[in-house]
Amino acid sequence: MQPDEAIELAERHFGLSFSHEQVAMLVQYVNLLTDWSVRVRLISRNDRNFIWERHILDCLSLVPRLPTEGPLLDLGSGAGLPGIVIKIMRTDLEVYLLEPARMKTLFLQETITVLGLQNTFAIRSRAETLVGNSSFADKFLIGTARAVAKLPQLWNWVEPLLASQGVLIAMKGPDSLSEFTNGVPDHVYAAETTLTLPFTRRKRSFVFLKRC
């Protein structure tokens, strides 16, 4: 898929609008992903020729669902999906990209530098380690996660890091609330919405979790 096709689909299906600078940054980001993926497992080999349709469009679908204010913590950011895409589209947000793997963190740091992303930070750490850092307690109004862990584990990691009105938005497959095998905890508000992604026709669910 060509960039202009992906942008047109995102505008039509997600109601997004793009500046010339944002399009150029997305193209540059995809080029970095492609180059680094030769030596670092950022995305699967089968996806390297389908980054726009399988990854960029998927992450763009989250952007209209984000709260108006941050800061934002992207858990298990990996290749920066969705954290880098979010930052390109929402330059107003302060974004923290949390990733334990050294080479993936180096990729995130280079991407931040090359794209000139302001107020964007790559942190090499695990979520459970970050919980022990008092400077991050109750800090974030938004948490995001894409293909990281099951919902109970995600919530346990992120809850101490969320501000009182903070929300976790997990990108999952359909019916993911069933991952709470004993039911959603009483003190947690949970909602799930599902859409069909353009072009690939894959189902994408967004699970919203926050304290009641």
pTM: 0.95
- Whether the CB-CB separation of 208 and 169 falls below 8 Å is answered with yes
Q: Quote the pLDDT of residue 46.
A: 85
The pLDDT tens digits of the residues spanning 143-163 come to 999 989 999 999 999 999 999
Rounded to an integer, what distance in angstroms lies between the CA atom of residue 46 and that of residue 24? 25
DSSP-assigned states of every residue in 70-133? --EEEET-TTTTTHHHHHHH-TTS-EEEE---HHHHHHHHHHHHHHT-TTEEEE-S-HHHHTT-
Task: For residue 200, give the 3-state DSSP assignment.
Answer: coil
- 198, containing H or E segment: none
**The total number of structural domains that make up the chain:** 1
Q: Which range of residues forms the domain containing residue 26?
A: 3-211
- Whether the CB-CB separation of 29 and 84 falls below 8 Å is answered with yes
CATH number of the domain where residue 156 is located: 3.40.50.150
The pLDDT tens digits of the residues spanning 10-65 come to 999 999 999 999 999 999 999 999 999 988 999 888 888 899 999 999 999 999 99
